Amino acid sequence: MDILMLSNGKIAGNEHVMGFASEAIIEQVKRTGAKKWVLIPYAVIRSSHDDRVAMVQQTFDALGLDCQVTGLHQAKDPVAALKAADGILVSGGNTWVLNKTLHDLGLVGPIRKAVLDRGVPYIGWSAGTNIACPTIRTTNDMPIITGAVLPSLNLVPFQINPHYLEAKVEGHNGETRDERIQEFLEVNQHEPVIGIPEGTWLHLHNDQLSYHSANGKDLKLFSYGNEPLYYSEQQNIQFLMAHSC
Amino acid sequence: MDILMLSNGKIAGNEHVMGFASEAIIEQVKRTGAKKWVLIPYAVIRSSHDDRVAMVQQTFDALGLDCQVTGLHQAKDPVAALKAADGILVSGGNTWVLNKTLHDLGLVGPIRKAVLDRGVPYIGWSAGTNIACPTIRTTNDMPIITGAVLPSLNLVPFQINPHYLEAKVEGHNGETRDERIQEFLEVNQHEPVIGIPEGTWLHLHNDQLSYHSANGKDLKLFSYGNEPLYYSEQQNIQFLMAHSC
């Protein structure tokens, strides 16, 4: 498998979506030879799915990659479209809408088969990274739909918190991100959570997990009963694949 | 009914939980004569349920109110405890854990009967305000449990977003609170969302809805296709009870 899990889409001062991970995307395209990419846009709520496809096509074009992006929402038969795709992209937006739509359309199995069995490259950001986890329990998104589905693609055996942020808004008494993750750990004491700040990503390639940071920010590993630990992109994080901390 | 829905528990510089709404609580206790209060502490994850009971007892004591607070978690028969209670308090914490526990223990009906049929006063804050809504779809909390339940107490016919905050963290590209609420509206176009900032609360008394602010901050009403509107505590918001905007 060749799975890129980005914290977010855009970062300040970077005009293209996924721009901060340009080198990783170029390498992945060259390594896999993937030309026909299908974008899963169901998380996108406040703009059109077609626009999101165009936005991602612009990134590929700007990187000088000879790749074509189509939207899975445009396919008459989404399962057939996934089978025909050389690569799968999953846009950010609302994780709840994305995950439920994948289940409603019967796409969880086909995506897992493509990525895990056929080795089709996967690039997700934000919600597209949340759904690579066993469940979406570490999303930051509001559960805007009544039919909540939590189990997800389970491409990696741990929970990721994308857009991870240590900041506290002065004077605000709502829970910090760390406090929310500590609540997760209290209830799920055997499941680590990996916070990845904006501008960073995880890469799972042939069972080897690595962390990458475009801005020097570290990954933050939360596990029950322990102080959180920071890992830089130089450090080995392969132990996370064993799903124990 | 006599329902106080507070945005949050503590605010900076205010030592007691619910301290910013002291006058409203004193008035409610005098109005209803409620002495035996039961606290529903299931949202509390990072500290003990007993401690939360003690914290709320301290508030009542500090306000000079002759009230006794017991925890519903201490009751052998929670339904009987709700029937015997003069007043119901619901603590903040994790909304998902709170709401699912109420459903698991069969407490949704008993709470609704107490509050709506018998007129037992209700005070909720944060998660305790989220569950007064038809569903918990406008919670800010992380869905840390695998069995998600969204329908809730439905004491008011609209969705509330507690700890409402307009701030944006500089350089952070995750969705703002307003963007999250806009996503809710895109999917739920006939349901308004009411953002109540910290230090403020809603009061539903004999079908009359009012807004109160200890710090001058306005309520913010979000409805589909419209610019958000601000309401001060001097303005009439009774139209929200008709569930149309």
**B39-54 pLDDT per residue, tens:** 999 999 999 999 999 9
Q: How far is A175 from chain B (nearest CA, A)?
A: 8
Chain centroid to Cα A143, Å, comes to: 18
pLDDT for residue B102: 98
pLDDT for residue A13: 67
Active-site residue (options: A163, A203, A213, A223): A163
Which of A9, A10, A187 minimises the CB distance to B145? A187
Which of B139, B142, B183 minimises the CB distance to A137? B142
Averaged over A54-70, what is the pLDDT? 97
- Among A148-152, A168-172, A229-233, B36-40, name the one with the lowest average pLDDT: A168-172
pLDDT for residue A244: 47
- The residue of chain B nearest to residue A148, with distances taken between CA atoms, is B148
**Amino acid occupying residue B111:** I
Torsion over CA: B16, B18, B24, B30 (sign): negative
Task: Examine the pLDDT at A10 and tell me if it is beyond 60.
Answer: yes
- Which chain A residues contact residue B21 at CB under 8 A? none
Task: Examine the pLDDT at B239 and tell me if it is beyond 60.
Answer: yes
Instruction: Calculate the average pLDDT of chain A.
Output: 95
Determine, for residues B186 and A9 on separate chains, whether the beta-carbon distance falls below 8 Å. Answer: no
Q: What is the ipTM of this complex?
A: 0.92
A92 part of contact set with chain B, CB < 8 Å = no
**A126 is a catalytic site residue:** yes
Residues 130-159 of A with CB under 8 A from B: 135-148, 150-151
Other CB atoms within 10 A of residue B217 CB: 18
Determine, for residues A183 and B45 on separate chains, whether the beta-carbon distance falls below 8 Å. Answer: yes
Instruction: Calculate the average pLDDT of chain B.
Output: 95
Q: What percent of chain A has pLDDT over 70?
A: 98
Which of B142, B151, B165 minimises the CB distance to A138? B142
pLDDT for residue B10: 86
- The residue of chain A nearest to residue B13, with distances taken between CA atoms, is A171
Averaged over B68-83, what is the pLDDT? 98
- Which chain B residues contact residue A135 at CB under 8 A? 146
Averaged over B120-142, what is the pLDDT? 98
pLDDT for residue A245: 41
Which of A144, A165, A187 minimises the CB distance to B169? A165
**B10-19 pLDDT per residue, tens:** 876 668 999 9
Q: Grade residue A179 by pLDDT with cuts at 50, 70 and 90.
A: very high
Determine, for residues A173 and B146 on separate chains, whether the beta-carbon distance falls below 8 Å. Answer: no
List the one residue out of B230, B126, B65 whose CA is nearest residue A173. Answer: B126
**A116-145 pLDDT per residue, tens:** 999 999 999 999 999 999 999 999 999 999
* CATH fold label, B2-158+197-215: Rossmann fold (3.40.50)
CA angle in degrees (0–180, nearest 5) for A26-A93-A64: 20
Q: Grade residue B171 by pLDDT with cuts at 50, 70 and 90.
A: confident
Asked if A71 and A52 count as a contact pair (C-beta separation under 8 A), the reply is yes
Residues 181-220 of B with CB under 8 A from A: 181-184, 186-188, 198
User: Strands A219-222 and A193-197: what pairing?
Assistant: antiparallel
* CATH fold label, A2-242: Rossmann fold (3.40.50)
A193, containing H or E segment? strand A193-197
Q: How far is B222 from chain A (nearest CA, A)?
A: 14
Q: Which residue has the higher pLDDT, A15 or B143?
A: B143
Determine, for residues A171 and B94 on separate chains, whether the beta-carbon distance falls below 8 Å. Answer: no
Determine, for residues A180 and B145 on separate chains, whether the beta-carbon distance falls below 8 Å. Answer: no
Measure the CA–CA gap between A115 and A123, rounded to whole angstroms: 10
Q: Grade residue B245 by pLDDT with cuts at 50, 70 and 90.
A: very low
A245, containing H or E segment? none
pLDDT for residue A39: 98
Determine, for residues B151 and A146 on separate chains, whether the beta-carbon distance falls below 8 Å. Answer: yes
A48 part of contact set with chain B, CB < 8 Å = no
Q: What percent of chain B has pLDDT over 90?
A: 92
Q: Grade residue B173 by pLDDT with cuts at 50, 70 and 90.
A: confident
**Amino acid occupying residue B118:** R
pLDDT for residue B15: 80
SS3 A210: strand
Task: Examine the pLDDT at A214 and tell me if it is beyond 80.
Answer: yes
pLDDT for residue B11: 75
A128 part of contact set with chain B, CB < 8 Å = no
Measure the CA–CA gap between B8 and B198, rounded to whole angstroms: 6
A8 part of contact set with chain B, CB < 8 Å = yes
Determine, for residues A145 and B187 on separate chains, whether the beta-carbon distance falls below 8 Å. Answer: yes
Residue ranges per structural domain of chain A? 2-242
Measure the CA–CA gap between A43 and A144, rounded to whole angstroms: 12
Q: How far is B94 from chain A (nearest CA, A)?
A: 8
